[in-house]
Structure 1
Amino acid sequence: MFILCSNPLTQSDQSYFILLYPQPLGENMTAHHTLADRLRARADQLGLSPAHVAEMAGVNRSFVYDILRGRSTRPGIEKLREVAAVLKVDRDWLIHGIGDVDGTPPFIDNPDEAFVAIAHASPRPSMGGGAVVVEDRDTPGRAYHFRRSWIKHSLKANPAQLRIMHVDGDSMAPTLLSGDAVLVDMTRKTPNPPGIFVLDDGMGLVAKRLEHLPGSEPPAVRVISDNPLYSPYERTVDEINIVGRIRWFAREI
């Protein structure tokens, strides 16, 4: 289960928190396909009969056949997890069409709805220190998959310029908590409008809210922690290196 946010920009509006399970990106990629459709298509793709799937998953054959025949639309989650493991897919992909599939998915309704993998950047931004980000698409770590159309139309971003990072510390609480995954757009480096950015502030890599200081000479920004226990501070633009704007986050609960 995840708490997700597509636009964590304003301090005053806390209504952007949305509880979604398990559909973090909106409507299903395979919206007109059912659980039975996905199970059948994936088993066929792997050359497995329903009986083989049941045997390998350690469940009764009736569990699988009832799903395929439409008799069971809300099967047991734990058993379905075992079936998903046999089929080498996320359980959530079987249920909703969202999640990881080992290799090529058995079908995609619309090529524009294909998922695109966003790589990790390392190290993670700390809310109290850290090292400068290494922009490496081959950085170890699980890739996150997003609908290409969501990135194109909602974020208006280039997938090649997006990175997944994780945060440490509590200085951005309650907006960002330690362990949150954040999606960073490295093409957006200007705090206009104000927002939450990953930056090197001269003492390390941090996730902070930035506001441009009008009329400042040289140009400067205010670096703000959402946690009131941490005081804001100011930096000139020459004293910081903005890695990118945080566009989205996910939190496992």
Structure 2
Amino acid sequence: MLLVHRRTVLAMLLRHKSNFANSESSAFLLSEGMTGLEEDTKLIRALCEWAGKTPSRLAKDAGLTPTTITRPFNGEATSRLSIPTIEKLKATFPGFDWGAPAPDLPVADALQAYVEVKVLPTYAGMGGGGTGDGDQQTTLLPRSLVIEDLRARPEDLLVIDLRGDSMEPDFFNGDRIVVNTRDTNPVQPGPFALWDGDGYVVKNVERRRGSLRIFSSNAKYSDWESDGEDIQIMGRPVWFARRL
């Protein structure tokens, strides 16, 4: 069962990197009855078997970071293979049977209802921070959610997976958030995605005279002061999804 903030079933769409968008990349992505992540796992395992290579070797040959391939191979991916990743694999292994798109699939009409949004390659910590290392990834969000509900531009949004407990009860381990990267001014205190010099984190930020107070929602974590020189505010969360 999925619990979402406000009224859009966001987690299903964040998880679903749209069969329509990837239909030109692989016949494996059209397998009926499979989730998108399962389709990616099937594709990568078939490609490794065909090429006679380990997932890490496959990634290296295609100029990708190892986790881009090892995560879907092991069934541990949290987002779909991006179109640039598929294109690199196709260019490196053109002899593989990539298949053909289904002839009656309404690709253009379906894509008009969605917009592409960037995904932070790793996670943002609520405790220790994520590094952000990895290949650029994207996901699809409903155009109505982005334009009408969030009143944002797709290029200004960033999807981030969260880990840790320092922001409970506001955010929990495993939550996914959508951050508006244009909203970086903590004149109105609240949660923000930050780069704190060591990693990506989500913390509450409050502007004080000459400094910023950085603090967790969970009282067991200590707060700290910053002059703003050692941190970068990436944006304010405007949406989240949570799985029960």
Does the 8 A contact of 2:132 with 2:199 survive in 1?
Answer: no
After superposition, the Cα gap between the structure-2 partners of 1:2 and 1:203, relative to the gap in structure 1 and judged at 3 Å, is same
Give the residue type in structure 2 aligned to 1:194.
P
Structure 2 residue corresponding to 1:239, chosen from 219, 226, 230 = 230
**In the alignment, does 2:165 pair up with 1:170?**
yes
The residue aligned with 2:9 is: 24
Give the residue type in structure 1 aligned to 2:174.
G
Shift of 1:230: 1.0
- Secondary structure of 2:119's counterpart equals coil
Does the 8 A contact of 1:132 with 1:200 survive in 2?
Answer: no
Shift of 1:125: 0.8
The residue aligned with 1:196 is: 191
- Secondary structure of 2:194's counterpart equals strand
Shift of 1:146: 2.0
Provide the rounded CA distance (Å) in 2 between the counterparts of 1:123 and 1:107.
31
Give the residue type in structure 2 aligned to 1:180.
D
After superposition, the Cα gap between the structure-2 partners of 1:193 and 1:87, relative to the gap in structure 1 and judged at 3 Å, is same
The residue aligned with 1:117 is: 116
After superposition, the Cα gap between the structure-2 partners of 1:252 and 1:226, relative to the gap in structure 1 and judged at 3 Å, is same
- Tell me whether 125-134 or 149-158 shows the greater mean CA deviation: 125-134
When normalised by structure 1's length, the TM-score is 0.54
The residue aligned with 1:72 is: none
Shift of 1:85: 5.9
Shift of 1:226: 0.8
Provide the rounded CA distance (Å) in 1 between the counterparts of 2:238 and 2:147.
13
After superposition, the Cα gap between the structure-2 partners of 1:178 and 1:107, relative to the gap in structure 1 and judged at 3 Å, is same
The residue aligned with 2:175 is: 180
**In the alignment, does 2:91 pair up with 1:145?**
no
After superposition, the Cα gap between the structure-2 partners of 1:2 and 1:105, relative to the gap in structure 1 and judged at 3 Å, is farther
Provide the rounded CA distance (Å) in 2 between the counterparts of 1:197 and 1:172.
11
Provide the rounded CA distance (Å) in 1 between the counterparts of 2:224 and 2:32.
53
Matches within 5 A, 1:119-134: 119-133=118-132
Matches within 5 A, 1:44-55: none
- Secondary structure of 1:121's counterpart equals strand
- Secondary structure of 1:119's counterpart equals strand
Does the 8 A contact of 2:123 with 2:131 survive in 1?
Answer: no
Shift of 1:154: 2.2
Residues 21-67 of structure 1: CA deviation (Å, up to 9, x unaligned): xx515xxxxxxxxxxxxxxxx9xxxxxxxxxxxxxxxxxxxxxxxxx
After superposition, the Cα gap between the structure-2 partners of 1:182 and 1:104, relative to the gap in structure 1 and judged at 3 Å, is farther
When normalised by structure 2's length, the TM-score is 0.55
Shift of 1:121: 1.2
- Secondary structure of 1:122's counterpart equals strand
Q: List alignment gaps of at least 5 residues for structure 2.
A: 11-19, 21-29, 37-79, 81-101
Give the residue type in structure 1 aligned to 2:150.
L
After superposition, the Cα gap between the structure-2 partners of 1:238 and 1:3, relative to the gap in structure 1 and judged at 3 Å, is same
Residues 143-179 of structure 1: CA deviation (Å, up to 9, x unaligned): 5432212212322211112121111110001111111
Shift of 1:183: 0.9
Shift of 1:132: 4.9
Does the 8 A contact of 2:163 with 2:172 survive in 1?
Answer: yes
Give the residue type in structure 1 aligned to 2:136.
T
The residue aligned with 2:150 is: 155
CA RMSD of superposed structures (Å) = 3.2
Provide the rounded CA distance (Å) in 2 between the counterparts of 1:2 and 1:104.
28
Structure 2 residue corresponding to 1:224, chosen from 194, 204, 215 = 215
Identity percentage over the alignment?
A: 30
Flag the structure with higher strand content.
Answer: 2
Moved over 6 A (4+): 87-90
Shift of 1:244: 1.5
Q: What count of residue pairs does the alignment treat as equivalent?
A: 160
**In the alignment, does 2:32 pair up with 1:86?**
yes
Q: List alignment gaps of at least 5 residues for structure 1.
A: 7-19, 26-41, 43-83, 91-99
